[in-house]
A and B are shown apart, each in its own frame.
Chain A
Amino acid sequence: MSDTEFLLLVRGPLFTLATVILVGGVLIRIAEILFMGRKKSLAEARGSEASGGFRVMLSRSVPDADTFHRSGFTIISGYVFHIGLFVVIFLFVPHILVFERAIGLSWPGLPSNIIDATTVITLIAMLTLLIHRIVDPVRRMLSGFQDYWVWLVTALPLITGYFAFHRVGVSGAWMLAVHILSVELLMITFPFTSLSHAFTLWMSRWYNGAVSGYRGIR
């Protein structure tokens, strides 16, 4: 298979397949969760579920002082890597064009060299988190195959993207194809692993916040 054929395969049928698995998978997972149901509390309410739910959906992004003091490393690295991912995925013009093709929406991007630097910073943050996961007793005990797998499938698009951008000693088409393939791996992994936190997190924060809201806890 020539590099061009490889690129065509990943831009064509494989990307469609990955999109179908991603979109279908996310909805299957959400339905699976919602169908488990939740009993409405019979206790007299002191506040509203909605106010607490919405509040926690937002407020939980900001750690309290003590938590920041105790888990500063995880929080900073986590923030850097999540913001980095967001910037790289959504603000790189060639990526925006993918969204434009898929959903018809477009927005301004950032200069490529900023994306480039962000990629490196994001990877460094991810690497520190990986080392922490391996070295720290708590993280090591909690982590299983899935945790390392999702780390890998998140890091791969960054690494291959970096090389696709710089194309050092490799064919541009081949590297771009490998990059898109790694993204497809991420897309099909996403709904069925802990990567799903990207969407279930909002449900979790809602449920947690709804209970505090109902009890009037502020």
Chain B
Amino acid sequence: MSSEGLQRGYAILKEQIDAPTASYLSSCVNCGMCAEACLFFTETGDPRYTPIHKVEPLKKVWRHEYTFWGRLSKALGLSKPVTDEELAAWSPLVYDGCSMCGRCSVVCPVGNDITYMIRKVREGLAAAGHAPEGLVAATRRAITVGSPMGVKLPALQAQIRHVEQDTGLSVPVDVENADYMLLLSSMEIMNFPEFIAAVTRIFDRTEVSWTISSEAFEATNSGIQIGVSDLAAELVQRVVTAAEKLNVKYVISPECGHAYMAIRWEGPNLIGRPYGFRVVHILELLDELREQGRLKLQGKETDRLTYHDPCQIGRRGGILEQPRNLLRAISDDLVELPGGGMMNWCCGAGGGVSSNERADEIRLRAFNRKKSQLDQIQVDGLVSACSNCRIHIEEGLEHNHIDLPVLSLTELIEKHLAD
């Protein structure tokens, strides 16, 4: 059983290795600087969480399969291949102790994109059957039900009815030829329906032609998090099919980090073709509308605010300026977190960590980094653009008995819509 899993995992790892991987693995000098860049190391002090150490199984496969000396020593029976036990032992390191935040990748002095490789390690581990139970279950729900949290269409429809009642506006569903098709994360549907209301009001005021697809409204992609490209592709394909069927020009990725990574950057590569539409993040769109003068804002926040960059949107996604432009329009007292922007510290729950119960403890320990940062800057409110970040930060604050509002940037903007 396990040997079959190992074979499958090994085969996947073999497929994953490309020129960048080979270059990265050739370049590492074990300087250990990536450890200091990783909050799972800094908050636990456990050397096993050193980012480059997490790619050890991939490194072994690379040596074995794609280096001259490795193949020679393999042929001579001199080197040991990766074992199933090893893969199993690495599961907690790459799933519980890594949020794919990408901070190590921008610190590494030789330029290694370590996160890129950990993503590949996950592919191998998942195929070998070593993904954590929580993520497997979430992935199963995403594939079979359509949402990792098991949210079905009727639940969304119920929320839409509430939103329509609250706003007095209609939420367009399955409108063909709309300009924009909005995706939502399950968390937004279940925990933060205010987001849907905010978007509805903003789009009404800015006269954006938009719709939600009843066939593909889920933005998240558990396949990306667990590291199974075949399943991730299936989830992306649902969105693509729906968007192309409705003939929209754009698909909007909502306030969710990895959802943006999935649909914007990985998606076309997963399904093997470019889309017939473009993908924008909600913050990109809002800032564009603001710039065009269509989104008019009024009033300023009186509270001292800070912005927490979701890793996949900021450092890995390139949306760093837009949220700041938007916030500056409504706040005069905006402070940066230490390292805010490109070097922002992860909340600790990204990359599937929050769906993985096995990681509950370490996730809260990792939060200590954000907590000490918040102690440092003393703000009245924290704004972010990822439901997952927000939920985890709220949980972490509560755990540490800190009372600090955690806000959605889109919702905050909506509060300042000019009359």
The reply on A192 being an interface residue by CB < 8 A is yes
Among B112, B279, B315, B339, chain A packs the most CB atoms within 10 A around the CB of B112
- Closest Cβ of chain B: how far from A216's Cβ, in Å? 4
CA distance A185 to B304 in the complex (A): 61
The reply on B264 being an interface residue by CB < 8 A is yes
CA distance A80 to B94 in the complex (A): 34
A204→B27 contact, CB < 8 A: yes
- Closest Cβ of chain A: how far from B391's Cβ, in Å? 25
The reply on A78 being an interface residue by CB < 8 A is yes
B109→A196 contact, CB < 8 A: no
The reply on A92 being an interface residue by CB < 8 A is no
B339→A207 contact, CB < 8 A: no
A41→B343 contact, CB < 8 A: no
Within 8 A of A (CB), among B371-393: none
- Closest Cβ of chain B: how far from A198's Cβ, in Å? 9
A60→B52 contact, CB < 8 A: no
B28→A197 contact, CB < 8 A: yes
Interface residue from B18, B30, B36, B50 paired with A70 (Cβ < 8 Å): B36
- Closest Cβ of chain A: how far from B145's Cβ, in Å? 27
Chain A 168-212 per-residue mask, 1 if CB under 8 angstroms from chain B, else 0: 000000000000000000000000101011001101111111011
B265→A215 contact, CB < 8 A: yes
CA distance A101 to B22 in the complex (A): 34
- When distances are taken between beta carbons in the complex, the residues of chain B under 8 Å from A61 are 109
A208→B50 contact, CB < 8 A: no
Majority secondary structure of chain A interface residues (helix, strand, loop or mixed): helix
The reply on A67 being an interface residue by CB < 8 A is yes
The reply on B278 being an interface residue by CB < 8 A is yes
- When distances are taken between beta carbons in the complex, the residues of chain B under 8 Å from A74 are 31-33
- When distances are taken between beta carbons in the complex, the residues of chain B under 8 Å from A194 are 26-30
Residue of B nearest to A217 (CB): B318
- Closest Cβ of chain A: how far from B100's Cβ, in Å? 14
B269→A36 contact, CB < 8 A: no
Q: Which of A13-21, A42-50, A105-113 interfaces with chain B?
A: A42-50
- Closest Cβ of chain B: how far from A124's Cβ, in Å? 18
B21→A138 contact, CB < 8 A: no
Within 8 A of A (CB), among B312-368: 315-318, 320, 338-339, 342-343
CA distance A103 to B303 in the complex (A): 66
A200→B19 contact, CB < 8 A: no
With A204-B23, A204-B110 known as contacts, the answer to whether A32 contacts B67 (CB < 8 A) is yes
- When distances are taken between beta carbons in the complex, the residues of chain B under 8 Å from A60 are 108-111
B339→A204 contact, CB < 8 A: no
The reply on A33 being an interface residue by CB < 8 A is yes
With A42-B272, A66-B339, A218-B320 known as contacts, the answer to whether A142 contacts B113 (CB < 8 A) is no
- When distances are taken between beta carbons in the complex, the residues of chain B under 8 Å from A11 are none
Among B33, B105, B109, chain A packs the most CB atoms within 10 A around the CB of B109
B116→A66 contact, CB < 8 A: no
Within 8 A of A (CB), among B265-295: 265-269, 272-275, 278-279
B19→A66 contact, CB < 8 A: no
B30→A208 contact, CB < 8 A: no
Residue of B nearest to A46 (CB): B318
- When distances are taken between beta carbons in the complex, the residues of chain B under 8 Å from A57 are 111
Report the count of interface residues on B (CB-CB < 8 A).
62
CA distance A5 to B81 in the complex (A): 46
A147→B20 contact, CB < 8 A: no
B318→A201 contact, CB < 8 A: no
The reply on B120 being an interface residue by CB < 8 A is no
B320→A43 contact, CB < 8 A: no
The reply on A63 being an interface residue by CB < 8 A is yes
CA distance A196 to B23 in the complex (A): 10
B278→A44 contact, CB < 8 A: yes
Within 8 A of B (CB), among A1-39: 28-29, 32-39
The reply on B107 being an interface residue by CB < 8 A is yes
B17→A36 contact, CB < 8 A: yes
The reply on A167 being an interface residue by CB < 8 A is no
- When distances are taken between beta carbons in the complex, the residues of chain A under 8 Å from B20 are 38, 204, 207-208
Residue of B nearest to A64 (CB): B343
Chain A 78-91 per-residue mask, 1 if CB under 8 angstroms from chain B, else 0: 10000000000000
B268→A43 contact, CB < 8 A: yes
Interface residue from B18, B41, B53 paired with A36 (Cβ < 8 Å): B18
A216→B23 contact, CB < 8 A: no
A43→B267 contact, CB < 8 A: yes
CA distance A63 to B268 in the complex (A): 33
- When distances are taken between beta carbons in the complex, the residues of chain B under 8 Å from A32 are 22, 66-68
Report the 9 A-B pairs with minimum CB-CB distance, sorted nearest first. Answer: A205-B111, A42-B268, A207-B20, A217-B318, A70-B36, A142-B30, A204-B111, A200-B26, A36-B19
Q: A197-B29, A203-B23 are in contact. List 6 more A-B contacts (CB 8 A).
A: A63-B109, A67-B36, A67-B37, A204-B113, A206-B111, A207-B19
